[in-house]
Amino acid sequence: MQQQHGPSAASALHRRILDTLPKLTWSASHEFEATAATECATFLSDYEEVDEVRVLTCQHVFHVTCVDTWFDSYSFCPTCHRDLTDKEDVPS
């Protein structure tokens, strides 16, 4: 059975997991920029040099405030829907 993602399957991401995801200040010189979008998919705004971003295990990047709010209700990436509670993504 395939897991559905949506309001009926909503599950907040545990704070312990969220705290393991790196937070960085957006900069054109960061190596993740080459593979990351230049716009936050949840806020729909371009990143600025001073923005604090969070890098998920799937390597998608979002504004910290945007994605942390998302994770109050969901436990998967807003872009690719990778479940961040998967055992391979959760530190021991």
Residues in the chain: 92
Tens of pLDDT, residue by residue over 5-28, are: 444 345 788 888 888 898 988 876
pTM attached to this predicted model: 0.70
Architecture of the domain defined by 15-92: 2-Layer Sandwich (3.30)
Four-CA torsion 68, 72, 73, 79, nearest 10 degrees: 10
Q: At 83, phi and psi to the nearest 5?
A: -75, 115
The tens digit of pLDDT for each residue in 21-63 reads: 989 888 766 655 444 566 666 666 777 788 898 989 998 888 8
